Amino acid sequence: MSSNKYRILIIEDELNIRSFVKTILETNGYQVLTSGTAKQGEWMVTSHCPDLIILDLGLPDMDGVELIKKIRKFSRVPIIVLSARTDENDKVSALDFGANDYVTKPFGTAELLARVRATLRNSHHNTELTNGQYGKFVVKDMEIDYDRRIVSIKHQEIKLTQTEYNIVTLLSEHAGRVLTYAFIIHAIWGSADSGSIKKLQVNMANIRKKLGSKPGDNQYISNELGVGYRMYGNE
């Protein structure tokens, strides 16, 4: 067993999916641990310190979202949630309670591997960002200068309102990760009311227009329908 491999814990009760995911990951050089229950999975998080968790939301002994809450009390280990198409609400609460990303069943090998790579990369990137705090964020030809509070594309300043700037910065601090509507609203306005989502959507539409994204061609920010927004991370 090589010690420099990333260690991934799969918590999934369906044997077929568990072995499918295990095989994909092992073939691609990851070390894999598995659990069929939430209780054993939780124990394995503390005893084996995985670098990443792939968690099914529908487990027999505990709700997956409950398990995320428990894990987040003691660990920041990245979590990718596996959800069925019918669990739309669960997926959103999973993200709100600290999951890093999600994959909807049925999923393909390429999609799962891309999510795993991106999540591992972003968790390191975010650690550096928190430690560095100030500085610059660069993705493609966009640059955010946190000290001067300026966003520019190809060295051309983009005029954003205070709120728009705050949203862009928030997304950049979590680049690569989907932020739910509730998460963004709470971070930007503190509390939510019936008009909050509309207000967020209006701001996002303006931001995307100013950043030059045509509909369907989002270079910097993707719109995850019904869930939230994601700023693309650095490759």
Q: Which residues bind Ca ion (CB under 5 A)?
A: 13, 56, 58
Burial 163-186 (b: 16+ CB within 10 A, else e): ebbbbbbbbbbbbbbbbbbbbbbe
Length of the chain: 235
User: Which one, 4 or 16, has the nearer CB to Ca ion?
Assistant: 16
Minimum separation from the CB atom of position 234 to Ca ion (A): 34
Largest CA distance in the chain: 54
Minimum separation from the CB atom of position 57 to Ca ion (A): 7
Residue sitting closest to Ca ion (CB): 58
Minimum separation from the CB atom of position 4 to Ca ion (A): 32
Minimum separation from the CB atom of position 36 to Ca ion (A): 9
Question: Residue 106: is the preceding peptide bond cis (ω within 30°)?
Answer: yes
State how beta strands 142-145 and 150-153 pair: antiparallel
